[in-house]
Structure 1
Amino acid sequence: MATPGGSHLPDGGKARRAYLQLRDEITRGTHAPGAILPGETRLAQKCGVSRVTIRRALDALAADGLIEKRLGAGSLVRDPGAQAVPLSGDLASLMPQLVEIGQRTEARLLSFGYGHPPQPVATALGLDAGARVQTAERVRLIGGTPFSHLTTHVPEAIAANYSEADLATTPLFRLLERSGVQIDGAHQSVTAALATPEVARALNVAVGSALLSLTRVVRDAAGGGVEYLSALYRPDLYRLDMDLCRVGSDGDRHWQPVIGAPPSAEAAE
């Protein structure tokens, strides 16, 4: 069954492999919008599968809205401009972008409550044993399409300054500053993850879909942890960018991030 804005993995390992290969080619622009994909026979040969298998892969791509199957005329690659515009985040200037992205996108609060955090969260935030945090789960949407699933942990003393209603309508970044927190910096790591059933439902993707996973620990001017963020992004709607410059001389030439470079687009919280 088709889910708007989602990802539809077909049944069968070979069909999934063909689907992922073609989806990657379409999203990378190998097959431009408006182009007609090669016929089923050629695609089957290219992907090393049968025509029945390639047909299942094409059906899944059509359900994703990436192609339009036309009887007797092949499969037309759809214009992504008619779908949600992907967001990109500049790693070198990520924090200033958070406020603006909160204004561009819609947030839906899934859960809100207080309790003891998982040990990795407590350690990262530098919390004492028995300390409590406010934990919230949210989904952010752009153009009505969900692109990120966010889980945040904020120390109770800070979170007491805002309510569940505040978090449902205002970006957390703003709430922290409104609470008097002087944010100084953050450390984050990026890896990959697979969509669990719960996250898959929230992001309208198939269970097991590949997601971009980002973990960020935000600290105040005194070095204390004020937020622990675990974020999962749909890679078809979000990417992370970084500008680099070549520095050094002779044999010591190397790449270095351009700190403070103007972002090409806003980043997501």
Structure 2
Amino acid sequence: MSQAIAGQAPDGTKAQRVYLLLRDRILAGQLAAGDALPGELRLAELHGVSRVTIRRALDGLVADGLVERRVGSGTVVCAPAAPPGQIIADFATLIPQLRRMGEETTARLLAFSYDLPPAPIAAALGLADGARVQRAVRLRLSGGLPFSHLTTHVPERIAQGYSEADLATTPLFRLLEQRGVVLDHARQAVSAILAPPDVAQALEVVVGAPLIALTRVVYDDRGNGVEHLTALYRPDRFSLEMMLARVGEADARHWAPVPANPAKMAS
């Protein structure tokens, strides 16, 4: 694993903020290999912090192999290592792709318990007061590298049909279907969050690093909620894409998602 992937963030909120801003600009290609960064005094002025803070942020970038200090040239950007095995998902066919992903990648079970769910999750699943859920936290890896942190809540009446060991080795979709659950439809939303400490440690990123956040509620053929998923993805190892087509007439023309390929959906 390259150091640029692991992240060597400095301690301290201000230094970490500067470190993340500069790191993201380098990884996004806004600062190219060979570019010289402004001097410490100029960086301190630009970010409204002290030179000591800038020095600590730069130390983190040096440790990551993203920059190096050269005599006579100052701090120069290095070529970042290419992210290994990035997973790309088509938003229009996300559900079957996530299912296939669960079968083609490996998972590590981090936590497992039966609890009363938070009120928003109970409401999303349509649970009665006092109904418990099985809560499981898993880390999914591709090629031995972590790319997603998954937290699932499944109603106890369904989850009792499989064990902790089953969940550690078998995709949840398959376990639900083995229980006779007929998966019918889902509602999902995608946003972004900053990595909290426990998730950052599991995904091997710095605290506060940006993550793709996907929330999905799955329903059976009778409209009952059977799974609530919160999935957090490393953006350097997972991305969402969508094909768009220009539709409509004259002034009403606009961009619209291209309908999913039925054959691809069935895979």
TM-score range, shorter chain: 0.7 to 0.9
Query: What is the CA–CA distance in structure 2 between the aligned matches of 1:94 and 1:212, rounded to whole Å?
Result: 14
Is 2:238 aligned against 1:228?
no
* Post-superposition CA distance 1:200-236 (Å, at most 9, x none): 2222222233322221101112211110001222222
- Match of 1:77, SS state, is coil
Unmatched 5+ stretches in structure 1: 265-269
Inter-CA distance 222–64: structure 2 relative to 1 (3 Å threshold): farther
Inter-CA distance 110–4: structure 2 relative to 1 (3 Å threshold): farther
Inter-CA distance 127–14: structure 2 relative to 1 (3 Å threshold): closer
Aligned AA (2:68): K
Q: Give 1:123 shift.
A: 0.9
Query: What is the CA–CA distance in structure 2 between the aligned matches of 1:37 and 1:54, rounded to whole Å?
Result: 17
- Tell me the number of residue pairs that the alignment of Structure 1 and Structure 2 aligns: 257
Instruction: Please say which of residues 229-238 and 20-29 is displaced more in the overlay.
Output: 20-29
Q: Which residue of 1 aligns with 2:175?
A: 175
* Post-superposition CA distance 1:214-263 (Å, at most 9, x none): 2110111221111000122222222222211111112221221123159x
Inter-CA distance 254–39: structure 2 relative to 1 (3 Å threshold): closer
Counterpart mapping for 1:1-269 below 5 A: 5-11=5-11, 15-31=15-31, 35-38=33-36, 41=39, 44=42, 48=46, 54-65=54-65, 67=66, 69=68, 74-80=76-82, 83-261=83-261
Compute the TM-score of the two structures, normalised by the length of structure 2.
0.82
Tell me the percent identity.
Answer: 54
Aligned AA (2:247): V
The answer on whether the counterparts of 1:84 and 1:142 sit within 8 Å (CA) in structure 2 is: no
- Match of 2:39, SS state, is helix
Query: What is the CA–CA distance in structure 2 between the aligned matches of 1:187 and 1:71, rounded to whole Å?
Result: 52
The answer on whether the counterparts of 1:70 and 1:76 sit within 8 Å (CA) in structure 2 is: no
- Match of 2:200, SS state, is helix
Query: What is the CA–CA distance in structure 1 between the aligned matches of 2:114 and 2:229, rounded to whole Å?
Result: 16
- Match of 2:6, SS state, is coil
Aligned AA (1:48): L
Query: What is the CA–CA distance in structure 2 between the aligned matches of 1:54 and 1:85, rounded to whole Å?
Result: 32
Query: What is the CA–CA distance in structure 1 between the aligned matches of 2:14 and 2:129, rounded to whole Å?
Result: 50
The answer on whether the counterparts of 2:113 and 2:134 sit within 8 Å (CA) in structure 1 is: yes
Higher relative contact order (CA 8 A, sep 6+): 1
The answer on whether the counterparts of 2:91 and 2:241 sit within 8 Å (CA) in structure 1 is: yes
RMSD: 3.1
Inter-CA distance 69–142: structure 2 relative to 1 (3 Å threshold): farther
Instruction: Please say which of residues 134-143 and 70-79 is displaced more in the overlay.
Output: 70-79
* Post-superposition CA distance 1:37-64 (Å, at most 9, x none): 3255399569836876555434323434
* Post-superposition CA distance 1:56-77 (Å, at most 9, x none): 4343234345x26376584421
Unmatched 5+ stretches in structure 2: none
Aligned AA (2:36): P
- Match of 2:101, SS state, is helix
